[in-house]
Amino acid sequence: MRYPQGLKPGGTIGFVAPSFGCGEEPFRTMFELAQQAFVRRGYRLDLGPNCYEEKGIGISNTPRACGEELTEWYCRKENDVLISCGGGELMCEILDYVDFERIRRAEPKWYMGLSDNTNFTFLLTTLCDMASIYGPCAGSFAMNPWDPSLQDAFDLLTGEKTWVQGYPLWEKGGMDMEETMRNRDPEAPYRLTEPKILRSYVGGRPAAGGEEIRFRGRLVGGCLDCLANLAGTSYDQVEAFAGRNRDEGIIWFLESCDLTVMSVRRAIWELKHAGWFSHVKGFLIGRPLHFGEELMGLDQYHAVLDLLEELNVPVIMDADLGHLPPSMPILCGAMGEVTVRDSDIRICYGKE
């Protein structure tokens, strides 16, 4: 696994829009406030040509334009790290225009993004053996002051921090994320009203009160919506990746956006039968955007646990991960040591 250098003081932050761009409100204002926040901290900026584009369907521009921008901005020397402008819907369509061979030969740099950006954070790790950050997109840094989860993400970019821990409260928003963003002040803090309660299992057995669960492995994962879409395609080289890392084992971190509980169960079944869970050491399952949903007696817990319990590894559910903030930034590709006790969780990252 190759690890990028951290962002140094006075360095340059690059921005790309392989998924949604920031041409429309409120995303334009959020992006510009975020840029101001980075400049105030002494950093230079390097904006890709698609950052303000809105020509594409489910992405900022044409798939070719987005793929070429991502390749060029990752490989160019004028920036030190890359942050995606936003999530979106159809980033998968740009993959045929991303030059993964050129990227594999390039000096590694941190790429950070969430949700649809799984299409790159995940493939950087599994195809190129390069670490990435599954963390906030650019507009999130409009918040003033930054939420601790945003500071954690930035501290991973700079290399000032090598661990994260969970947060005590979370925001229970509606399932229409765009509407939620339009109706809030971009600089306002999260509306943290819900206490974080982890549900932890080992082989289907609920953890006892006060029981410590500890496991270690190479972290890989992202948004389940995107991962299930990649399974079985030419970009699916997960079995080979897991085989290369069989000695360390794999910790899967997974969260879902648009998927119902039935869709989550189908996706987990698909990945399991595609051989993705070979050499697994544990699972971190984030709060789904469809939190609390039940269909035909199936809830978010049984949607996952019924299919994973036979693997006899820890499954930590409702973790601070995903579309219901705050979300712990995850170093995809890094070695992770996860420690859980009741509703406290800590991940220590190792660059091995």
The pLDDT score that the predictor gives to residue 182 is 66
Stretch 326-343: mean pLDDT: 98
DSSP for 272-310, written as a single string: HHTTTTTTEEEEEEEPPTTTT--BTTB-TTHHHHHHHGG
Residue 278 pLDDT > 80: yes
- Rounded Cα gap, residues 28 and 19, in angstroms: 15
The answer to whether 78 and 47 are in contact (CB under 8 A) is no
Stretch 34-50: mean pLDDT: 99
| pLDDT per residue as tens digits for the range 261-277 | 999 999 999 999 999 99
- The H or E element containing residue 14 is strand 12-16
Stretch 61-66: mean pLDDT: 98
Residue 178 pLDDT > 70: no
Q: Cβ contacts of residue 273 below 8 Å, gap of 6+?
A: none
Q: Which domains does the chain have, with CATH numbers?
A: 12-161 (3.40.50.10740), 169-350 (3.50.30.60)
Read off the pLDDT band of 68 (50, 70, 90).
very high
- Rounded Cα gap, residues 317 and 322, in angstroms: 12
- Rounded Cα gap, residues 48 and 186, in angstroms: 22
Read off the pLDDT band of 174 (50, 70, 90).
low
Read off the pLDDT band of 306 (50, 70, 90).
very high
Q: For residue 252, what are the β-bridge partners?
A: 220, 283
The pLDDT score that the predictor gives to residue 287 is 97
Residue 1 pLDDT > 60: yes
The pLDDT score that the predictor gives to residue 352 is 84
The pLDDT score that the predictor gives to residue 232 is 97
The answer to whether 117 and 65 are in contact (CB under 8 A) is no
Stretch 209-230: mean pLDDT: 98
Read off the pLDDT band of 184 (50, 70, 90).
confident
Portion of the chain with pLDDT greater than 90, in percent: 95
The pLDDT score that the predictor gives to residue 173 is 79
The answer to whether 1 and 352 are in contact (CB under 8 A) is yes
| pLDDT per residue as tens digits for the range 104-143 | 999 999 999 999 999 999 999 999 999 999 999 999 999 9
pTM above 0.75, yes or no: yes
Q: What is the mean pLDDT of the chain?
A: 96
Read off the pLDDT band of 180 (50, 70, 90).
low
Whether cis (ω within 30° of 0) applies to the bond prior to 145 is: yes
CA distances to 71, 168, 309 from 303, rounded to whole Å, are 37, 25, 11
- Rounded Cα gap, residues 251 and 92, in angstroms: 23
Q: 322 in the Ramachandran plot: left (φ > 0), alpha (ψ -120 to 50) or beta?
A: left
Residue 176 pLDDT > 80: no
| pLDDT per residue as tens digits for the range 162-173 | 999 999 999 997
Residue 183 pLDDT > 90: no
Stretch 236-262: mean pLDDT: 97
